[in-house]
Amino acid sequence: MLDDLPRGRRPALAEKYAQRPLWARLWPAVSTRMSRHPLWIKVTRKPLHARVVKYALGSVVAFITGNIAFMLLYVAGTSTTVCSVGGFIAAAIPNWILNRRWAWQRQGRPPARQIVGYIAVSIGVLVATSAATGWTNAQVQSIPNHHGLRLLIVTASYVAVTIALFVVKFAIYEYWVFSERSRVRAALRSLLQVRRIARANRSP
């Protein structure tokens, strides 16, 4: 990456580049290598397809980090609510970064709509996973806590809810949270405008 820059700028940028975290240094190289692969070029030919693929990969990363955190906390003996919160935090941070900067290509300071929308969606996911894992854990109380089967069953409920919300989250991100202009707000304005026109036409 630095080889493409003028020689005069390389030392200063190389020093700044070396101070970045390891993942921040590796990601540009990995991203560039992926973008040149024929299969990647084929599946991301259209902008919407590219967002879907990148969103899916970002979700896989968040899925892995969230499930690892959930299982570790569950093995440690914490409640399913604490496990869900820990899994949520471990998944939400990389998911926000990958979705906003990579999938939807949004840079700079995020507007209030993105922050509020993402937090609202995340809270919804947190409530759903907490309810599902709490209910599942209550159903398997007869299985010893140290037994691996109990861990698998409770974790499976966490996974099931996460997968079920996959499509719903993408639609919300696409049409509201990361959209250049909120299509939800535009649709509501159009609906209100239609109602006003219909009401005016009914007036004598």
pLDDT beneath 50, residues of the chain: 1-3, 5, 8
Nearest residue to 57 (alpha-carbon basis) of 83, 84, 37:
37
Contacts of 6 (CB under 8 A, 6+ apart): none
* pTM over 0.85, yes/no: no
Residue 12: predicted pLDDT: 53
* Dihedral in degrees, nearest 10, Cα atoms 177, 183, 184, 189: 140
In the Cβ-directed half-sphere of 59, how many Cα atoms lie within 13 Å? Answer: 18
Instruction: Judge whether 143 and 149 are in contact, CB under 8 Å.
Output: yes
Residue 65: predicted pLDDT: 92
Residue 108: predicted pLDDT: 83
Residue 151 CA to residue 73 CA, distance in Å, equals 11
Tokens of 75: 């093995």
Residue 203: predicted pLDDT: 52
Residue 135: predicted pLDDT: 92
Domain ranges, ordered by start, for the chain: 1-36, 47-179
